[in-house]
Amino acid sequence: MSDRSTSEAMLRGVKLTCPACGQGRIFSSYLKVADACPKCGEELHHQRADDLPAYITMFITGHIVVGLVMMVETHFSPEFWVHALIWPPMVLALSLFLLPRVKGAAIGLQWAQRMHGFGGAPEAAPAIAPKAALTRPA
Ligand SMILES: [Zn+2]
């Protein structure tokens, strides 16, 4: 059980803010994750969102837009060119809007679950005796 709230960290990610403090911006540019939070200094370079945000963004966008296409076609049956004019820009705009927010949520999830080095758990201390202990007194 984690002491970090998964829902709160993911919500902070959706708001494009640091999962730890909710103040600093998580991205240094559109999708480039900052190495560390500019406010609290939490290291964010551990994130491994990889392709997950793209898959989830496509899933959400597809369900919204296909549902709207079917609803408009059922109720209004517009000419094909009307569909061609409306839906591609909507897909593009929705995807560009959702992608950083979904990526922020994925990073928040990883942070809350202490994945990929977000653990804060110290690396195992090297079991090397101090140098002085290895040398025998003459
Ligand atoms: Zn922070």
Tell me the domain boundaries of the chain: 6-119
Measured CA to CA, the distance from residue 7 to residue 5 in angstroms comes to 6
Q: Which among 115, 92, 112, 99 is positioned nearest to 27, based on CA atoms?
A: 99
Residue pair 120/114 in contact (Cβ under 8 Å)? The answer is yes
How far does residue 25's CA lie from ligand 1's centre (Å)?
8
The pLDDT of residue 117 is 85
Distances (CA, A) of 124 to 44, 110, 121, 128: 21, 21, 9, 11
How far does residue 119's CA lie from ligand 1's centre (Å)?
15
How far does residue 43's CA lie from ligand 1's centre (Å)?
8
**DSSP state for residue 29 in the 8-state scheme:** S
How far does residue 92's CA lie from ligand 1's centre (Å)?
30
Give the pLDDT band of residue 133 (cuts 50, 70, 90). low
The pLDDT of residue 118 is 85
How far does residue 48's CA lie from ligand 1's centre (Å)?
18
Tell whether the model's pLDDT for residue 58 goes beyond 70. yes
Give the list of residues 6+ apart from residue 13 with CB closer than 8 angstroms, or none.
19, 26, 101, 103, 104, 105, 106, 107, 108, 109
Is the pTM here over 0.85, yes or no?
no
Residue pair 5/108 in contact (Cβ under 8 Å)? The answer is no
How far does residue 17's CA lie from ligand 1's centre (Å)?
7
Neighbours of ion ligand 1 (CB under 5 A): 18, 20-21, 24, 37, 39-40, 42
Tell whether the model's pLDDT for residue 130 goes beyond 60. no
How far does residue 26's CA lie from ligand 1's centre (Å)?
8
How far does residue 58's CA lie from ligand 1's centre (Å)?
28
Q: Beta-carbon neighbour count of residue 110 at 10 Å?
A: 23
What's the chain's average pLDDT?
89
Tell whether the model's pLDDT for residue 53 goes beyond 70. yes
